[in-house]
Amino acid sequence: MFPVAIKDNVYWVGAIDWNIRDFHGYSTYKGTTYNAYLILDDKITLVDTVKYPFREELLNNIRQLIDPARIDYLIVNHVEMDHAGSVQYITDLVKPEKIFCSPMGQKNMLAYNLSPDYPYEVVKTGQSISLGKKTVQFIETRMLHWPDSMFSYLPQDKLLISSDAFGEHWATNERFDDQVDMAELMAHAAKYYANILLLYSPLVQKLLAEVQKLGLEIDMIAPDHGLIWRGNPGAIIQAYDRWSRQETAQKAVVIYDTMWHSTEKMAHAIVEGLTREDISTKLMNLKVNHRSEIMTEVLDAKAIICGSSTLNNNILPTMADILTYMKGLKPVNKIAAAFGSYGWSGEAVGQINQYFEEMKFTLASPGIKVLYGPNEADLQNCAALGQQIGRMIKEQVK
Amino acid sequence: MKKYVCSVCGFVYDPAKGDPENNIPAGTPFENLPDSWVCPVCGASKDQFEAE
């Protein structure tokens, strides 16, 4: 690739990863990008690096603008390997005068075994550095999504370089939001939020308030993954406000796995009940849906209904996977119910309910258990449960 | 003395250990931590801790 000017003397110099399909357990079926930015000023500054295998792409982009040895400052907004994985390589190569990072950034780079002799310069929220004509102001964003995370803001350019916030996994050769389909872009951004940031929603709310309080004028947001928000940066800020308040729609997700189709029949009957109440419903079989796709649907769903047969006195392993994952991401204020068929012991429904209780979901019913195969009456019960939940959703979500 | 858990990142404050890196000696109960003390891992404030 080649560098792309995003502002006067500010360039995207990152890398596009067209091939990645599994990003630490998150399905990236359309790849991703690792964005890094080069600021040309009296002090030439590189903001973030890229995942290690892409370091030559980064350098190649920089070389088309300047000799990389001229880089004076390196800013590390986040120490995760997809952004800081080339910090050691770049530092040894260009020997920057300073490496700016948050207090936790320094601590965590040392914990990643980077040399303690590097010229770290710790910065905190509100601190600024002058690059010559341009200034960079830092805003710590602890736990959004790691303890070391921070934003770099260029007031003269009204540019917020936002690290992992406001990004999405989507490999494109377009660099800006106004060059791609908005609906698809927002879908990727929602998936990113649901799978990476949902559990920190209370902190997102605080951060949005803090950004407002600091009075930052923002006309462009440049995240470390995916597209740069140039045409409509307000759209992603508003979406983050909505998602972090965990606003829901009149929507349900029915998640299940099945051994001999009994639990599956129950799932279909529940969907039928929800459909009779006009509730938008996603039926997600765990054998064919990735956990990160399911979480994306959970994000704005009001009801989560989970079904599993009982296998060896337990829920099916796929159900344990999604419930463990979901619990960690801390969705709140959901209506829930469990269902499943069994042959003799039938522990699955109770075990799913335990997860629901830990997540403080409201149980719509104690759950439906069916011995071996559901008969007509069982399926009617399932449909009735779907309808009952549908009515609850309509009462609670206007 | 009770341990306290950070609701943001899961760090556990153990009074028996204190937080020596931030000048909190071993044996300091959670209640006696100054209001300015923050989670040493993620920076969350004291009020975001819950008793274990």
As a whole number of angstroms, the distance between CA A312 and CA A321 comes to 16
A300 is catalytic: no
Cβ contact, residue pair A147, B44, below 8 Å: no
Of A128, A52, A135, A65, nearest to A92 by C-alpha is A52
pLDDT (tens digit, 9 = 90+) per residue, A202-241? Answer: 999 999 998 888 889 999 999 999 999 999 999 999 999 9
Bridge pairing between strands A15-17 and A32-34: antiparallel
Share of chain A above pLDDT 70, in %: 100
CB contacts of B9 in chain A (<8 Å) are 143, 147
Q: What is the mean pLDDT of chain A?
A: 97
Collapsing DSSP states into helix, strand and coil, what is residue A243?
A: helix
Look at residue B45 and tell me whether its pLDDT is greater than 90.
Answer: no
CA distances from A364 to A12, A32, A332, B32 (A): 50, 39, 15, 43
Read off the pLDDT band of B7 (50, 70, 90): confident
Q: Who contacts A324 (Cβ-Cβ below 8 Å, separation ≥6)? A: none
pLDDT of residue A33 exceeding 90, the answer is: yes
Query: Is the Cβ–Cβ distance between A253 and A367 less than 8 Å?
Result: no
* Chain B residue closest in CA terms to A202: B8
Contact A74, A118 (CB under 8 A): no
**Closest residue to B8, CB basis, from A104, A140, A143:** A143
Confidence (pLDDT) at A1:
85
In A, which residues are within 8 Å of B43 by CB distance? 104, 140, 142-143, 147
In this structure, what token pair is assigned to residue A193? 């939020």
Per the CB < 8 A criterion, the answer to whether A37 and A25 are in contact is no
| pTM, 2 dp | 0.94
List the single residue in A140, A147, A200 with the smallest CB-CB distance to B41.
Answer: A147
pLDDT digits (tens, 9 = 90+) for A38-89: 999 999 999 999 999 999 999 999 999 999 999 999 999 999 999 999 999 9
For residue B22, give how far its alpha carbon lies from the nearest alpha carbon of chain A (Å). 13
On chain B, the residues whose CB falls within 8 A of the CB of A147 are 9, 41-43
Residue A44 CA to its chain's centroid (Å)? 31
CA–CA distance, A12 with A39 (Å, rounded to integer)? 9
Distance CA A334, CA A208 (A): 24
Residue A178 designated active-site: no
Contacts with A, B 1-52, CB within 8 Å: 8-9, 41-44
Please give the structure tokens belonging to residue B38: 């923050």
Look up the ipTM and state it.
0.77
In angstroms, the separation between the Cα of residue A299 and the nearest Cα of chain B is 19
Mean pLDDT of A376-388: 98
- Using a 10 angstrom Cβ sphere, with 0-12 exposed, 13-18 middle and 19 or more buried, the burial of residue A390 is buried
Strand-pairing partners, residue A33, are A16
Residue A165 backbone phi and psi in degrees, to 5: -75, 150
Amino acid at B26: A
- Chain B residue with minimum CA distance to A146: B42
Tokens of A286: 């765990």
Interval A321-376: pLDDT, tens = 999 999 999 999 999 999 999 999 999 999 999 999 999 999 999 999 999 999 99
**Residues A297-309: what's their mean pLDDT?**
98
Closest approach of A182 to chain B, Cα-based (Å): 32
Nearest one of A108, A244, A84 to A164, comparing CA atoms: A84
Q: How many CB pairs under 8 A join A and B?
A: 18
Residue A181's identity, in one-letter code, is D
